[in-house]
Chains A and B, each alone.
Chain A
Amino acid sequence: MIPATFDYARPQSTDEAVRVLAEAGPEAKVLAGGQSLLPILRLRLSFPELLVDLGAVDALRGIRQDGAQLVIGAMTTHHEVVHDPLVRAHAGLLARAAATVADPAVRHRGTLGGSLAHADPAGDLPAVCLALDATMVVLGPQGFRTVPAAEFFVDYLQTALRPDELLTEIRIPAMDGWGFHYEKFQRVAQAWAVVGVAAAVRPAQDGRGIAEARIGLVNMGARPMRAHLTETALTGADGSEEAIGRAATLAAEGTHPPTDLSGSAEYREHLARVLTQRAVLAAAGTA
């Protein structure tokens, strides 16, 4: 399968990339790692006139600490995220979930920014960044703006990014002392999640109870979402298996999961409850 023809540009800076995007208009598409975009082009589900390849924009790569935040360049690959000591120390949930994305060869090319901007509801990392309360740093012709993860994911494959804007950085608050876990149910090893649950738990002072919990849901609707009712039920909960199990029964409330070849909506709601219980139990145990 061969993609339809397109023009190609390879800017070397973010400013140049934004200029090229502005000149090209809405028919341009940004190429990050290409692990989602190239299959789409080859299946001819999309016909961009121009691909703007960010592969030469060195400034978009790398991970650094800025006060209490971790700053990850949009073109940082999953492989780099998984093995980065700063991510492992301060955003372990992200490292853990990124290690489950597809397979090693895809993780060598696929990028954090690419997977967030693509916003596939079955993608692992949008829901994780939502649970981590990440902030997206976006560059457009008028300069930089920031978008909280809660406002970034708009609909199926749609984000708050405008056609002339570029996701440049992902800022993640350091969550030292939190426990975390990522539970993913998939049909075969490298497949997309049928449902995934990302859980982060801040233990109470007594070391047994739960002070605060964040739950991100993968593939439970057109966009990633939080299990807010479960989060509320876990706030101040005693951390017992019963309490966590009760809170997890609320995990599918307000979701609109798809029905497809991998399972019905009802099956996904069941998975969300079961995986949430497992994820929170594991997260509470690792805090």
Chain B
Amino acid sequence: MAQNPMRDDPTPPPALARTSAARIAVNVDGVAHLDEVEPRLLLVHYLRDRLGRTGTPIGCDTGNCGACTVDLDGMSVKSCQVLAVQADGRRVTTIQGLAGPDGAWHPLQRAFHEQHALQCGYCTPGMIMAARDLLKDNPDPTPEEVRDALEGNLCRCTGYQNIVRAVLAAAAELRREGAPEPRGKAAGAPRASGQEAPA
């Protein structure tokens, strides 16, 4: 099993004596935040209500649907199943932190658009964050592995087919981008879109 360099053991956050209002330091999408929160505040409410990062939706509110999936220190988590205090000293990446500095979409965002991998779009942020987590460990997944990785994310519109296609297309693009020196000089070659679709 390849080790993921982003998944080094995180350093533990500082100790906290018993408190009813905790001071937390959280980096969200590259911006450091210092806040005082009630211990019962859920991470998803912190992101949406305190920071205004409403790109992460609340779906089922019971930990089942995965719509609120974000990245916490390199691991996908359901942000309705994490307290904001548990993110103290940690780094959160949401769907809003994926685009490049120039606003260019992440390959997964582009692939979901190009493959028509959404209809209502409510599950999309969670789907993309869960797929991103898969591709960190497994850059060349099979359709079956994509389905397994997305088992915690529910979509009620698409029937999943185009979501799987989109993840496979994005994986292909990320592999090309990550390739040290593509053989035969692929510059200008058309971006893969439908070719990676499952049979």
Chain A residues in the interface with B (C-beta under 8 A): 1-12, 16, 20, 24, 31, 34-35, 38-39, 41-42, 50-51, 53, 55-58, 61, 79, 83, 85, 102-106, 108-109, 189-190
- The answer to whether A8 touches B22 (Cβ under 8 A) is yes
Interface residues of B (CB under 8 A from A): 1, 9, 12-20, 22, 38-40, 42, 45, 61-64, 66, 69, 72, 75-78, 80-83, 85-86, 88, 130, 133-134, 149, 151-153
Among B16, B69, B81, point to the contact of A35 (Cβ < 8 A). B81
Cβ A56 vs Cβ B81 within 8 A: no
Residues of A within 8 A of B14 (CB): 10, 12, 56
Complex Cα distance, B19 from A24, in Å, reads 12
Q: Are A3 and B63 in contact (CB under 8 A)?
A: no
Given that A35-B63, A57-B12, A105-B76 are known contacts, is A189 also in contact with B151, CB under 8 Å in the complex? Answer: yes
Cβ contact within 8 Å between A41 and B40: yes
Contacts of B1 in A (CB 8 A): 83, 85
Which residue of A5, A50, A55 has the most chain B CB atoms within 10 A of its CB atom?
A: A55
Residues on B with beta carbons closer than 8 Å to the beta carbon of A103: 66, 151-153
Q: In the complex, which of the residues B13, B20, B75 contacts A10, with contact meaning CB atoms closer than 8 Å?
A: B13
Bound complex: CA A50 to CA B88 (Å): 18
Interchain CA distance A108-B7 in the complex, whole Å = 11
Q: A1-B61, A9-B18, A56-B14 are in contact. Are A105 and B66 (CB under 8 A)?
A: yes
In the assembled complex, 6 residue pairs joining A and B whose CB atoms fall closer than 8 Å, in A order, are A2-B42, A5-B20, A12-B12, A104-B134, A105-B69, A106-B81
B130: chain A residues within 8 A (beta carbon): 104-105
Q: How far is the CA of A103 from the CA of B61 in the complex (A)?
A: 16
A102 touching B152, Cβ below 8 Å: yes
User: Across the interface, do A2 and B15 meet the contact criterion of CB distance under 8 Å?
Assistant: no
Query: Which residue in chain A gives the minimum CB-CB distance to B88?
Result: A10
* Residues A55 and B152 in contact in the complex (CB < 8 Å), given A3-B40, A83-B1: no
- Residues of A within 8 Å of B78, CB to CB, are 105-106, 109
Instruction: Add 20 more A-B contacts to A12-B15, A38-B42, A109-B82 (CB < 8 A).
Output: A2-B45, A5-B20, A5-B38, A7-B19, A8-B16, A8-B19, A10-B14, A10-B85, A12-B12, A24-B18, A34-B86, A38-B63, A38-B83, A39-B63, A51-B39, A56-B12, A103-B152, A103-B153, A106-B63, A106-B81
Q: Is the CB of A11 within 8 A of B63?
A: no
